[in-house]
A and B are shown apart, each in its own frame.
Chain A
Amino acid sequence: MKNLPFILIAFFMAFQACGQPQKDTDTIISNNPTNLKLKVLYFHITNRCMTCRGIEANVRKTLDEQFRNEVETGVIDLYIMNCELPENKDLVEKYEAYGATLAITSFQNGKEQKTEDLTNWAFQKAHDPELFVSELKSKINEYIQ
């Protein structure tokens, strides 16, 4: 009986180690709304597959490597969100992002202009990070230049 607390801790640690899915937290990078020209949004579900994670990694890579300055000055915002969290419900409905969804929305003088859904494209190119980055870079440039 004296050892019961230790046994319970062992139980807890074992289930923590193997039983729980990894939780992702939302990322929102929005540095200066007055400069905003483009929002890049990627939605995902809670239990994610390799392709879904790959798309997020490719999106981050594109912004980190090609648009670091634009992100820092607020020209481009990045939203990575779990579409199954209740706090994201409004954005999920707006973008019809009920599962993995990549979308970009352009802005001019603080007003929302056009949204393009890149989900089908993203799943087609996800396996080729170089091509993904190159094509997404061109797409983003169309909106911010």
Chain B
Amino acid sequence: MRKFKLQGMMLIAFLYFLLFFAACSSVSQQNEMNDKDTIVAELPDTLAADQTADSLLHDDADTIKKMVPKSDQPRILVYNFHVTNRCPSCIAIEDATTKTLNTYFSREMKDGRIKRYIMNVDDDANRSIAEKYQVFGSGVFVTRVFKGKEATTDLTGDGFKYAKNKEEKFIEILKTKISEYLK
């Protein structure tokens, strides 16, 4: 009877540890999923580039002329930086940036005047660009390139302040800055 009771206790202890590790591994799986999301999130940039390339192959000569950015026009670079394990605000900033570009600047994206980059700062391949922008975690930057000169606005604070719970406000700020830089 005593032996049976001891076995019962051991079974409970085993179950407890099993459940503990199951719960913990679900958290780490979530983190791994975040990593996968990062890869997916980087696709829009690739897709945008591919779409441009495809259009170049199939469209007529006039369209090709339009799609090559003129050197006398400013070009805009939009950067979303993030770390591997992302917080809700960081994800919201990227989503709001995507919405802004798709809603208000799809033509400029298509003709190459605006380029968008989503980069993981934990990735060694992105170290130099992260250092250039002095970004160590999440960040959103808009850079204007014109006649060999660059001007950059850091919208990280606005992103964290508004993107998650007041998205329309962040979209307005980002839209205004990009519009100003396009002139």
Contacts and interface: CB of A to CB of B under 8 A. Distances in A.
Nearest to A54: B137
B99 interface: no
Contact of B157 (A13, A14, A49, A122): A122
Contacts of B163: 99
B111 interface: no
Contact of B23 (A15, A48, A84, A120): A15
Interface in A6-26: 6-7, 10-11, 13-15, 17-19
B34 to A, nearest CB: 12
Nearest to A55: B160
Contacts of B136: 51, 127
A83 interface: yes
Chain A interface extent, by class:
35 or more
A2 B24 CA distance: 27
Contacts of B161: 96-101, 119
Nearest to B165: A98
Interface string B128-165: 00000010111100000000000000111110111111
Contact of A120 (B11, B15, B157, B169): B157
From A6, A14, A47, A121, name the one whose CB has the most chain B CB atoms within 10 angstroms: A14
A119 B11 CA distance: 53
A48 B87 contact: yes
Contact of A119 (B26, B88, B157): B157
A100 to B, nearest CB: 4
A18 B162 CA distance: 29
B166 interface: yes
Interface string A91-126: 000001111110000000000000000011111101
A138 interface: no
B88 A47 contact: yes
Contacts of A15: 23
Nearest to B22: A14
Nearest to B157: A120
A3 B8 contact: yes
A122 B134 CA distance: 14
Given A7-B12, A100-B89, A127-B136, A14 B23 contact: yes
A15 B15 CA distance: 13
B33 interface: no
A99 B89 contact: yes
10 contacts: A17-B24, A18-B27, A49-B83, A49-B87, A98-B162, A98-B166, A99-B162, A119-B161, A123-B139, A124-B156
Which 3 A-B pairs have CB atoms at the shortest separation, nearest pair first? A120-B157, A49-B87, A119-B157
